[in-house]
């Protein structure tokens, strides 16, 4: 079936069979490989035969191109028997030509001319030659001689040809490029043509739906189209596939068709195609030329041909399957050197380092290794790390390490490997980190990498080695000062001050920080240099831990989080800024950032970073009293990064878990966690404080008061010695005060609570609310109510839900002792609701032993006055339920988004309908399911 060839066929028919002009007729069919030239030639020949025209067919071939008169012999074979005796037999009895092997012998030229005259005298004659560009030269000479001298209108010649290159080009030009010759150029099929072709195979509906996709993959190349169709039918024969019916799927037959298109162009053409597949899309002609050592002119010609036949489009492969099959077509002994040469050429041209590395990784060259290879691989690794392509980065670094012969270069590569993989799996890098400790301390490692090694050594408690490495960096900074070195040393100093302050060997490098200034401000001060983000974040953390919450500090930390993107080099910065918000009790903001970072690190697969942010999320949940969330996030942190991977910072996740389980009443679970072995060095850093404090709370909850008091005091002594004794860090005084209360030391408890209140200031914070609650326990009964109400208000404003539940429970007990059972019941119900929502099961169980209900409450509970209750509207029911739970009118208005006046009106109607006169008489049956919020 000829598709989109009607115009070409009509033109050829008019020329060859209907034109009345005198003399012979000559037509040339040209086009890209597999464009349908042969099919059109055969159609012309069939038409001629049907009209009674004698046809002399021939097919030229590269395998016969060196045999003189091979094509002429084929023409003679189709002639009448009495004319065949004049034909020459290629390569056998052809007499040598004195003018050269490619010249035709004069008698043969003349004999062929006479033969044409005799044939055209009887009937019209058509000579049809396929692939004439491959014809032997002597045959072409004879053909040209005969056509020029035969003046009969009965002679027609039609040939198909590809590109005119090689030794036959001049002779073909002589025959084909004359004014009277008719040229027909075949273009690839359009989308409409593809639709017509597919209709025969798939039906009109499917053809219309998928024609564009078929055209995109083939460029309208008939051979490629047939390959796709054959693949589709063969796949259907084997069973269903996960593709839409009729859609193109590149299978084996399509790939073989693509290879056929490439191979038909000859060896040079094939080499260009292989080189393009090797280098990838959109490569330059000069680079291709150098790679395969082929002239640029030939490369351009091959690229144009590959584009015309549908293999390429805008210098890109139309189908990845074609590129794959071309690469598979290369022999291994050819592929390796090509990859190596491609890498070298790309490196010399300054190409993308990852593109260079791709070729180097595809084939590791034998010794000796060229000097540029390790550097190229390291450049690619650094770029891959920045792009978060860890596997590629490690492959580059490992190959560079195998190739490197320089000891210093090898150390840099090892340090880069640690930095690249640390966020993902610290455990896998521990041995490599340990091997770098010595070189870092002896100055063999560049300072930039030494600083990263120091952070790792600190995390695993290798303080002596970290100090030796810091000494080396300090000497380098003194000898060759630079802003980068100064920033690095100050970063380490602030890290020591905020996290590892208790080591004499590191004390000379400890940096206490200065007040946090503005960083990256829109209008920085002209007389000061803006601080780097890492120094801003660490300075903010140190300020909060040592001096307490400061609004400028909080804003600086938020600015860092808004501006700095999380990466390997910024993880310390981002972590410090987020910790600042956590310790400053900016719970809502910290939660938003933490959840965002947890999602990001989870998607990246950065398990260590994910664990660090999960434990911060657990700390936020603990500080607001969401105990179940604390357990969930802390357990996830330890699941993502096992305890051994935390090193001396393991006190943080364990401390969060112990604290939460203790508050929930899961004392066996807390005891099991405390029984796990921990590094001794853990007690000498800030994270160890959280562990020590949690252990003290567990001991207090389980009745070991003196052990608890010892641990609380140890916390206080360490925090004072480390200059971290701010209320934002840990409220150790409150823990000690509760312990003294349990031991009967009212005065000591009061003194500690007052100290905590003085440190906390007037701000609303969970610590201040807890201090007021404990202080109330040290006062006479008649003074407790005011302090506890004040504590509830502070805790409600600051979001300390567990502490608020405890304060409400104490307030309920105080009212009970004062004989106000109705108010006690209301406070108990609020405390119970909060305790349940926080997961404080032990507190919840204690609150369920509530005071006896009033007679009216019991009556309501057992169903009396049910008709009156049913008269309440939904709005009245919600207001009454909140009032019964102890909310003020202002709080109810804020919760339900109504005015205070509306609340008063609803309550007035409720009192009238259920026949009560005051708030405290609201029955328990009105405790509807209204979500509690502060």
Residues 305 and 266: their CA atoms lie apart, in Å, by 12
pLDDT at 685: 95
Cis amide linkage into residue 237, ω under 30° from 0: no
917-934 in b/e form (b: 16+ CB < 10 A) is eebbbbbbbbbeebeeee
Q: How far apart are CA 863 and CA 410, in angstroms?
A: 83
pLDDT for 602 beyond 50: yes
CATH of 6-187, one of 3.40.50.20, 3.90.1200.10, 3.40.47.10, 3.40.50.300: 3.40.50.300
Inform me whether the pLDDT recorded for 426 exceeds 70.
yes
Of 225-234, 620-629, 841-850, the range with the lowest mean pLDDT is 841-850
Residue 144: phi and psi, rounded to 5, are: -60, -40
Q: Which pLDDT value is given to residue 839?
A: 92
- Domain extent listing, the chain: 6-187, 192-403, 407-509, 864-934
- Kind plus residue range of the DSSP H or E element containing 129: strand 125-130
Structure tokens at 28: 């040339």
Per-residue pLDDT of 71-81, as tens digits, reads 999 999 999 98
Residue 609 CA to residue 483 CA, distance in Å, equals 28
Give phi and psi for 235, each to the nearest 5.
-70, -40
> How many C-beta atoms surround the C-beta of residue 750 within 10 A?
18
Strand order in the sheet with 155-161: 54-59, 125-130, 155-161, 25-31, 182-186
Please determine, for residue 90, whether its predicted confidence score (pLDDT) is greater than 90: no
330 is written with which tokens?
A: 């290369």
- Measured between alpha carbons, how far is 590 from 622 in angstroms, rounded to an integer? 13
Report pLDDT for 421.
Answer: 86
| Local structure of 532: helix, strand or coil | coil
Dist CA 252 CA 230 (whole Å): 9
pTM: 0.71
Q: Which tens digits make up the pLDDT trace of 339-377?
A: 999 999 999 989 999 999 999 998 776 656 788 888 899
Poorest-pLDDT segment among 122-131, 786-795, 860-869, 893-902: 860-869
CA dist 524 → 197, 533, 557 (Å): 70, 14, 17
Q: What is the mean pLDDT of the chain?
A: 86
Supply the pLDDT for residue 850: 46
**Domain at 864-934, CATH class:** mainly alpha
Contact 326, 277 (CB under 8 A): yes
Higher confidence at residue 217 or residue 283?
Answer: 217
Using 50, 70 and 90 to split pLDDT, how confident is the model at 586?
A: very high
């Amino acid at each position: 079936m000829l598709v989109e060839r009607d115009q070409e066929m009509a033109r050829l028919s008019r020329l060859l069979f209907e034109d009345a002009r005198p003399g012979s007729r000559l037509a040339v069919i040209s086009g890209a490989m597999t464009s349908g030239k042969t099919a059109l030639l055969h159609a012309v020949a069939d038409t001629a035969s049907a009209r009674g025209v004698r046809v002399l067919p021939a097919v030229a071939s590269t395998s016969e191109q060196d045999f003189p008169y091979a094509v002429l012999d084929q023409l003679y074979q189709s002639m009448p028997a009495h004319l065949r005796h004049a034909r020459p037999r290629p390569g056998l009895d052809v007499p040598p030509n004195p003018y050269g092997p490619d010249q035709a012998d004069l008698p043969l030229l003349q004999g062929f001319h006479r033969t044409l005259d005799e044939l055209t005298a009887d009937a019209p004659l058509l000579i049809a030659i396929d692939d004439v560009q491959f014809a032997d030269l002597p045959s072409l000479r004879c053909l040209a001689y005969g056509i020029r001298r035969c003046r009969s209108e009965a002679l027609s010649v039609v040939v198909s040809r590809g590109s005119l290159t090689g030794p036959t080009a001049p002779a073909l030009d002589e025959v084909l490029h004359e004014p009277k010759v008719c040229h027909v150029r075949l273009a690839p099929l359009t989308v409409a043509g593809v639709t017509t072709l597919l209709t025969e195979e798939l039906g009109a509906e499917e053809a219309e739906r998928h024609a564009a996709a078929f055209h995109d993959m083939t460029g309208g190349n008939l051979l490629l189209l047939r390959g796709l169709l054959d693949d589709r039918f063969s796949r259907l024969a084997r069973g269903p596939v996960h593709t839409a019916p009729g859609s193109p799927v590149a299978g084996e037959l399509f790939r073989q068709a693509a290879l056929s298109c490439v191979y038909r162009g000859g060896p040079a053409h094939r080499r260009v195609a292989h080189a393009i597949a090797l280098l990838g899309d959109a490569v330059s002609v000069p680079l291709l030329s150098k790679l395969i050592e082929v002239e640029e002119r030939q490369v351009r010609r091959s690229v144009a041909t590959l584009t015309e036949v549908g293999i390429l489009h805008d210098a890109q492969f139309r189908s990845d399957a074609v590129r794959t099959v071309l690469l598979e077509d290369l022999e291994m002994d050819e592929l390796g050197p090509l990859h190596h040469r491609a890498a070298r050429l790309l490196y010399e041209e300054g190409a993308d380092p990852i593109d260079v590395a791709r070729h180097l990784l595809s084939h590791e060259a034998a010794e000796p290794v060229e000097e540029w290879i390790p550097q190229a691989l390291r450049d690619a690794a650094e770029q891959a790390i920045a792009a978060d392509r860890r596997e590629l980065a490690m492959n580059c670094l490992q190959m560079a390490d195998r190739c490197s012969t320089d000891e210093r270069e090898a150390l840099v590569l090892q340090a880069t490997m640690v930095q690249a993989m640390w966020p993902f799996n610290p455990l896998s890098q521990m041995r490599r980190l340990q091997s770098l400790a010595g070189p870092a301390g002896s100055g063999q490692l560049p300072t930039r990498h030494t600083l990263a090694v120091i952070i790792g050594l600190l995390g695993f408690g290798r303080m002596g080695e970290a100090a030796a490495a810091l000494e080396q960096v300090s000497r380098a900074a003194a000898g060759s000062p630079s802003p980068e070195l100064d920033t690095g040393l100050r970063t380490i100093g602030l890290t020591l001050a905020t996290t590892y302050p208790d080591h004499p060997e590191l004390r000379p490098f400890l940096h206490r920080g200065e007040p946090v200034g503005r960083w990256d401000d829109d209008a920085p001060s002209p007389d000061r240099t803006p601080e780097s983000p890492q120094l801003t974040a660490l300075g903010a953390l140190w300020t909060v831990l040592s001096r307490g919450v400061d609004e400028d500090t909080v804003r600086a930390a938020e600015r860092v989080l808004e501006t700095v993107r999380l990466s390997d080099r910024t993880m310390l910065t981002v972590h410090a800024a987020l910790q600042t918000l956590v310790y400053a009790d900016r719970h809502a903001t910290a939660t938003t950032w933490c959840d965002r970072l947890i999602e990001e690190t989870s998607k990246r697969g950065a398990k260590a970073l994910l664990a660090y942010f999960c434990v911060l999320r657990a700390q936020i949940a603990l500080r607001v009293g969401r105990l179940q969330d604390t357990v969930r996030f802390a357990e996830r942190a330890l699941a993502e990064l096992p305890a051994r991977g935390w090193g001396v910072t393991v006190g943080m996740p364990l401390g969060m878990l112990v604290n939460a389980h203790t508050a929930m009443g899961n004392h066996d679970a807390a005891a099991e966690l405390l029984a796990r072995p921990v590094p001794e060095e853990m007690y000498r850093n800030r994270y160890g404080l959280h562990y020590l404090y949690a252990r003290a709370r567990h001991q207090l909850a389980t009745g070991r008061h003196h052990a608890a008091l010892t641990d609380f005091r140890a916390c206080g002594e360490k925090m004072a010695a480390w200059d971290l004794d701010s209320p934002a860090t840990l409220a150790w005084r409150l823990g000690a005060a509760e312990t003294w209360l349990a031991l009967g030391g009212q005065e000591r408890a009061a003194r500690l609570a007052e100290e905590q209140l003085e440190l906390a200031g007037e701000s609303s914070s969970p610590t201040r609310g807890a201090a007021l609650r404990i202080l109330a326990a040290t006062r006479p009964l008649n003074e407790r109510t005011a302090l506890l109400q004040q504590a509830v208000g502070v805790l409600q404003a600051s979001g300390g839900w567990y502490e608020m539940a405890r304060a409400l429970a104490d307030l309920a007990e105080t009212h009970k002792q004062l004989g106000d059972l109705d108010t006690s019941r209301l406070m108990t119900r609020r405390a119970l609701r909060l305790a349940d929502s926080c997961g404080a099961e032990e507190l919840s169980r204690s609150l369920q032993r509530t005071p006896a209900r009033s007679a009216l409450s019991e009556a309501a509970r057992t169903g009396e006055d049910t008709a009156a209750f049913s008269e309440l509207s939904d709005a009245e029911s919600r207001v009454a339920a909140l009032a019964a739970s102890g909310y003020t009118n202002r709080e109810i208005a804020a919760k339900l988004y109504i005015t205070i006046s509306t609340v008063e009106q609803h309550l007035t109607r409720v009192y009238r309908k259920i026949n009560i006169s005051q708030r405290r008489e609201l029955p328990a049956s009105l405790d509807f399911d209204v979500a509690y919020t502060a």
